[in-house]
Structure 1
Amino acid sequence: MFTAGAIAAVGLAAAYASHLRTQRERTLSEVEAVANTTQEVLLRPVARHVAHLEIATLYLAAAPHAKVGGDFYAAADTPFGLRLLLGDVRGKGLPAVGVAAALLGSFHEVAYEAHGLAEVAERLDTSMGRYCRSRTGSRADAEEFATAILVEIPREGTHLSFLNCGHPPALLFHEDAPRSLDPPAASPPINLAEILGTTYTVERVPFGPGDTLLLYTDGVTETRAPSGAFFPLERWAGGVPAGFMPQELLRRLHRALLAQSRGKLDDDIACLAVRYEGPAPPA
């Protein structure tokens, strides 16, 4: 009798454990489905080719089972050329995702209308201010801002324009030698222009056939080794063999970050790479 009862108890416990495991798997599946949908809504798919440009993106969310975080990117094929936005909202979690969503929504509107990158930045600043005011009751303080970089690559010509709003500088691979595009004039992070009392400044640099531009968030350069050393992005870039297409460049960067951190990336990461393919060769 005791043996039969024990067997029955073990069977019930096993069935309950199986039920809990099934529920947990179903919940995780639902969470992943919501996360995937959120990512598709916020981070709209980016075309692989726009005119003479090839584009690739990389997004890694630090939070378990998350697909989006406070880092963001966007691309728009506009009458002014290809316009890009990549940035990082201060903070983490759902509040950061909300701010990123507000900025991305604004960018996908103003990118087609604004006549210059400074105007795009000004309107993003206004949009973020409105969002913060609706959420906190005040326009901005030192806790509410986003760093970002805006880029415009015309359909014709061999230059690009960029505006850096307190963000890590882009890397330009020119003649296979990478260099950091440090802006000579500082522009304020988004939502801090009014507080800092400064304006947005646009820079222009050569960008021609064979050149590649890499935009990234600070999750890249702040990836640590077990020893505490940060990822040496510029040194790594200097060792990249010539001629890589954007997708392969980002694959190699992803592998290097995993190797640096021993597979333990603990910050959101967003990257966007663009290569100038040049005009089609003559028939």
Structure 2
Amino acid sequence: MGDVGVRRVSVDRLVEQSSGRELVAIPLALIVVITVVDIHSPTDIHLGPLLVIAPALTASFAGPRLTAAVGALAVAAQVFIAVFHGGLTTANHIAQIIALCVLSSLVVFVCHVQERRARELSRARSVAETAQRVLLRPPPRRIGPLRVAWLYLAAEDETQIGGDLFAVARAQDASTRVIIGDVRGKGLASIGEASVVLGAFREGAPRYATLPELVAALEVSVGRDLDDVADTRDDPGEHFITALVLDIPDDDTQIELINCGHPPPLLLRDQKVTVLQARHPVPPLGMCSLPASSHRPDSFGFEVGDVLLLYTDGVIEARSPAGAFYPLAERVAAFPTSSPDTLLHHIHDDLLAHVGDRPADDAALLIIELTASHHLHRPHFTRTVDGHHRLPKSPSQPTDH
């Protein structure tokens, strides 16, 4: 995965360098045109000051070195104009040359600052991408009889990571455990709290025999560690995590889930969408400590070909420019469900079109389809479609069967 990222950055740089070399012809041509027109104009018409446009234009697409080179050519052209008019020692031409030197130097300095900022942003995104892989550990596309696709959109564009979380793990009794959750708050401040839940889930999913025991263990872990990692200085309010925890057996048509204050999942069957409302919901993690006996899982039918759609409130609370919430259930019913990847790409494109930019809150989606075949769990990292958010491989790429 790291090699892919390095190659992607290298290709981007080559494209930028190639574009810069092609565009530099514009300021060079501008210098030539201004110089030719000036030397053929009457002596009382001075076009030399317009030469500053050349380095300013270069700074919009090139680095400080190329900008400085174009600025030097502009100054040389100004000197040539002054010599041609026989007035290199006149106060007017000297003032024009000095002004052009100062302005060109200022443009180069601004260009240098912008380039340094771009490098820092690139490093920050690289660190965020690495942190996302370490913290979220992208679920495998196939695990047991399940096909999985996922999407994560961070509210903070530069970070690519925030307080939404999800994980998939195999249990010891031929079943798959799934969690999706949402930390109160968003962005970098909520990463520590998300890491507590994910760490406890990955440790407990294969250990505890029942779902109530697993959720009780998550509650204990969150209650013990949340105060240590929560950002109480900048956000002194109450801290908690909504979560949805599921147990999906390999050879049963019933799944169990415990809803800890999280938006209910959607079940897609035969192009019909059903909201799986919990009959025995419990408070979010971190609100109170309940024993395992207090957690009563809800059971729902889940047959071959069915699709589960798990999501965080950043999806359904995403607003359009007019203020309308994103109607997830309504939109999903109209999308084809040939595969989790296909459905996910439809939702992703439609969600961004709905909000016009990107959601104001962290948003996560996890789509799970039950198939007739089993697949050994082998972790698989998905490709990055763009520099701002992560998606699974497109449906056109080969998939495991």
Tell me, yes or no, whether TM beats 0.5: yes
**Counterpart pick for 1:6 among 95, 99, 107:** 99
Q: Which moved more, 1:45-54 or 1:35-44?
A: 45-54
3-state DSSP class of the match of 2:372? Answer: coil
**Counterpart pick for 1:26 among 106, 112, 119:** 119
Going from structure 1 to structure 2, the CA distance change for 1:29 and 1:142 (only over 3 Å counts) comes to: closer
| Structure with the bigger percentage of helix | 2
**Structure 1 residue 233, shift from structure 2 partner:** 1.6
3-state DSSP class of the match of 1:194? Answer: coil
Q: How do 1:238-257 and structure 2 match up within 5 A?
A: 238-241=333-336, 243-257=337-351
3-state DSSP class of the match of 1:193? Answer: coil
Going from structure 1 to structure 2, the CA distance change for 1:246 and 1:89 (only over 3 Å counts) comes to: same
Matched with 1:260 is 354
The alignment covers a number of residue pairs equal to 275
**Deviation per residue, 1:252-276 (Å, 9 max, x gap):** 1111211211224211111101101
The reply to whether residue 60 of structure 1 matches residue 153 of structure 2 is yes
The reply to whether residue 155 of structure 1 matches residue 250 of structure 2 is yes
Structure 1 counterpart of 2:254, which letter?
Answer: H
TM (norm. structure 2) is: 0.65
3-state DSSP class of the match of 1:66? Answer: coil
**Structure 1 residue 143, shift from structure 2 partner:** 0.9
The reply to whether residue 104 of structure 1 matches residue 198 of structure 2 is yes
Matched with 1:227 is 322
Going from structure 1 to structure 2, the CA distance change for 1:135 and 1:82 (only over 3 Å counts) comes to: closer
**Counterpart pick for 1:45 among 138, 147, 160:** 138
**Structure 1 residue 5, shift from structure 2 partner:** 1.5
3-state DSSP class of the match of 2:323? Answer: coil
3-state DSSP class of the match of 2:111? Answer: helix
**Counterpart pick for 1:166 among 261, 271, 287:** 261
CA RMSD of aligned residues (A): 2.1
Matched with 2:301 is 206
| Structure with the bigger percentage of strand | 1
The reply to whether residue 72 of structure 1 matches residue 168 of structure 2 is no
Task: Supply the distance in 2 between the matched residues of 1:154 and 1:257 (Cα, whole angstroms).
Answer: 31
Does the CA contact (< 8 Å) of 2:161 and 2:188 recur in 1? no
Task: Supply the distance in 1 between the matched residues of 2:330 and 2:143 (Cα, whole angstroms).
Answer: 30
Structure 2 counterpart of 1:103, which letter?
Answer: V
Task: Supply the distance in 2 between the matched residues of 1:208 and 1:68 (Cα, whole angstroms).
Answer: 33
TM (norm. structure 1) is: 0.91
Matched with 1:237 is 332
Does the CA contact (< 8 Å) of 1:188 and 1:200 recur in 2? no
Structure 2 counterpart of 1:263, which letter?
Answer: D
- Asked which structure has the greater RCO (Cα within 8 Å, sep 6+), the reply is 1
**Structure 1 residue 88, shift from structure 2 partner:** 0.3
Task: Supply the distance in 2 between the matched residues of 1:229 and 1:199 (Cα, whole angstroms).
Answer: 38
Q: Percent identity?
A: 36
Does the CA contact (< 8 Å) of 1:209 and 1:278 recur in 2? yes
Structure 1 counterpart of 2:110, which letter?
Answer: A
Matched with 2:275 is 180
Does the CA contact (< 8 Å) of 2:248 and 2:254 recur in 1? yes
Q: Which runs of 5+ in 2 are unaligned?
A: 1-93, 375-401
Task: Supply the distance in 2 between the matched residues of 1:229 and 1:269 (Cα, whole angstroms).
Answer: 17
Does the CA contact (< 8 Å) of 1:75 and 1:83 recur in 2? yes
Task: Supply the distance in 1 between the matched residues of 2:264 and 2:237 (Cα, whole angstroms).
Answer: 22
3-state DSSP class of the match of 1:95? Answer: helix
Task: Supply the distance in 1 between the matched residues of 2:150 and 2:256 (Cα, whole angstroms).
Answer: 20
3-state DSSP class of the match of 1:278? Answer: strand
**Structure 1 residue 215, shift from structure 2 partner:** 0.3
3-state DSSP class of the match of 2:263? Answer: coil
The reply to whether residue 189 of structure 1 matches residue 189 of structure 2 is no
Q: Which runs of 5+ in 1 are unaligned?
A: none
4+ residue runs of structure 1 moved beyond 6 angstroms? none
Task: Supply the distance in 1 between the matched residues of 2:132 and 2:358 (Cα, whole angstroms).
Answer: 22
**Counterpart pick for 2:367 among 267, 273, 277:** 273
**Counterpart pick for 1:83 among 173, 177, 188:** 177
Matched with 2:87 is none
